[in-house]
């Protein structure tokens, strides 16, 4: 069998700085669209991956079940499926369960069983736990306690589809051309620090929140220790898992805005904080005190989404690439501008986000560019666009 790790890494380097590709596309009007431009954009960044992981998150794909949680679960055996379904039965009303449609695809091997369940939680009347916290607890328990089962998607009216393969292979395998959504995020993986397996591919998901990640977190141990003290179970031994749980904690449980999330994971240096105005200095000092264990060290760029927004942020000194762009009501994020240009040659705005500063698109609202250059590709002269 051909060694895929050598295809894009001919010198067998331990680290590949350009590795991994991320892409996000959102229509802020809420209009659903086919994933075809996303597939083309990812295929254009084929050389950033090595075939050991690819995946997509799509929002708005289950309008017939708007209030149900759609659990996507992969199994390594029928026994694991039966055990999981026995676990789900007393805890959920299962409206529908079915195998996720797939097709035989060249390059996709050793695939697990993949099923989806549209469920409503059965929360005991005397319980004070919220519906979302109940869901998180059940997802973490399945992943930690049932051998051979892994919940890889758990939100409402959305789904994650991922596995070991190039993104274009994963799209074909899961028949994603049959889906439409108003937000698509995508990832092509080049793993350097963790084993390539179906559950370790991106996007990572917890309820409605998903993340795709390019980079590595040297702070994984400290981040994991912090999260496990407040109830999260880290079972996948990958840095993107701790990013996902940090998102769940800060953005969902504590309902803090994305700007605060960015200041937690990618904060200013202390010498910068010392020069801030008093109110800003007090806020940043408090965040570092309360959430110090969630400071993410190392190079990274990420795209985060839920059903109403798409957010991109990098580490504070931009050690991983990220480009943002808009055209009409569409927002794009990508590891490469070329992939955005492939699907939309003319753009209203295109810019490189500042390190540690989130770019946020929401339903009904495009982000304001930090810096923007509108290039007319019939000439060689850039045309500056005012903010």
CATH code of 136's domain: 3.60.20.10
- Give phi and psi for 25, each to the nearest 5: -145, 125
Residue 370's pLDDT is what? Answer: 74
- The Cα-based distances of 306 to 26, 180, 237, 340 in angstroms read 11, 16, 24, 21
20 is catalytic: yes
Query: % helix / strand / coil in the chain, to the nearest 5?
Result: 30, 25, 45
The Cα–Cα gap between 212 and 204 comes to: 7
Q: Encode burial over 150-166: b for 16+ CB neighbours within 10 A, e otherwise.
A: bbbbbbbbbbbbbbbbb
- Give phi and psi for 197, each to the nearest 5: -150, 165
Domain that holds residue 258: 4-9+21-384
Return the structure tokens found at 352. Answer: 């490189």
Is residue 15 domain-resident? no
Q: Among 132-146, 197-211, 341-355, whose mean pLDDT is lowest?
A: 197-211
21-27 sheet: strands from edge to edge: 158-163, 54-59, 183-188, 21-27, 330-334, 323-327, 349-351
Is residue 30 domain-resident? yes
Provide the pLDDT confidence category of residue 19 given band limits of 50, 70 and 90. Answer: confident
Annotated active-site residue in 8, 20, 205, 234: 20
- The Cα-based distances of 176 to 160, 179, 218 in angstroms read 11, 5, 34
Cβ neighbours of 7 (radius 10 Å) = 14
Is residue 44 domain-resident? yes
E strands of 158-308, at which residues? 158-163, 180-181, 183-188, 204-206, 209-215, 300-306
Is residue 107 domain-resident? yes
pTM here is: 0.89
Residue range 362-379: mean pLDDT, rounded: 69
Residue range 224-228: mean pLDDT, rounded: 95
- pLDDT tens profile 306-338: 999 999 999 998 999 999 999 999 999 999 999
Provide the pLDDT confidence category of residue 386 given band limits of 50, 70 and 90. Answer: very low
* Helix or strand (DSSP H, E) at 375: strand 373-375
Is residue 152 domain-resident? yes
Is residue 161 domain-resident? yes
DSSP 316-347: TT--S--EEEEETTEEEEES-HHHHHHH-SS-
Residue 193's pLDDT is what? Answer: 60
* Helix or strand (DSSP H, E) at 167: helix 167-173
Is residue 14 domain-resident? no
Determine the 3-state secondary structure of 144 from DSSP.
helix
Note whether 212 and 225 are within 8 A (CB): no
pLDDT at residue 7 tops 60? no
DSSP 221-261: HHHHHHHHTTT----S--HHHHHHHHHIIIIIIS---HHHH
Could you give the number of structural domains in the chain? 1
């Amino acid at each position: 069998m051909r060694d895929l790790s050598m295809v894009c890494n001919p010198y067998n380097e331990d680290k590949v700085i350009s590795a991994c590709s991320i892409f996000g596309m959102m229509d802020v009007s809420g209009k659903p669209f086919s994933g075809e431009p996303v597939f083309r954009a990812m295929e254009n960044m084929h050389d950033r991956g090595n075939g050991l992981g690819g995946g997509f998150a799509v929002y708005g794909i289950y309008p017939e079940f708007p209030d149900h949680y759609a659990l996507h679960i992969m199994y390594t055996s029928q026994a694991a499926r039966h055990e999981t379904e026995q676990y789900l039965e007393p805890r959920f009303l299962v409206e529908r369960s079915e195998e996720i449609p797939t097709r035989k695809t060249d390059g996709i091997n050793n695939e697990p069983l993949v099923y989806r369940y549209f469920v409503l939680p059965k929360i005991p009347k005397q319980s004070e736990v919220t519906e979302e916290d109940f869901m998180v607890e059940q997802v973490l328990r399945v992943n930690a306690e049932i051998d051979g089962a892994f919940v890889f998607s758990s939100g409402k009216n959305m789904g994650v589809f991922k596995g070991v393969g190039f993104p274009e292979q994963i799209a074909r395998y899961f028949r994603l051309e049959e889906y439409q959504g108003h937000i698509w995020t995508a990832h092509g993986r080049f793993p350097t620090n963790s084993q390539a397996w179906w559950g370790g591919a991106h996007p990572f998901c917890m309820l409605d929140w998903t993340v795709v990640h390019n980079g590595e977190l040297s702070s994984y141990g400290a981040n994991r220790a912090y999260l496990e003290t407040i109830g999260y179970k880290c079972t996948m031994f990958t840095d993107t898992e701790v990013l996902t749980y940090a998102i769940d904690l800060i953005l969902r449980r504590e309902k803090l805005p994305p700007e605060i999330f960015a200041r937690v994971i990618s904060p200013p240096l202390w010498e910068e904080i010392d020069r801030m105005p008093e109110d800003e200095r007090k806020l940043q000092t408090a965040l570092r005190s309360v959430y110090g264990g969630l400071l993410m060290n190392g190079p990274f760029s990420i795209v985060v989404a839920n059903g109403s927004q798409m957010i991109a942020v990098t580490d504070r000194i931009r050690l991983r690439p990220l480009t943002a762009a808009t055209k009409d009501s569409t927002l794009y994020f990508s590891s490469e501008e070329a992939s955005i240009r492939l699907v939309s040659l003319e753009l209203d705005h295109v810019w490189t986000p500042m390190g540690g500063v989130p770019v946020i698109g929401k339903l009904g609202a495009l982000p304001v560019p930090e810096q923007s250059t509108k290039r007319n590709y019939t000439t060689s002269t850039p045309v500056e666009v005012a903010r």
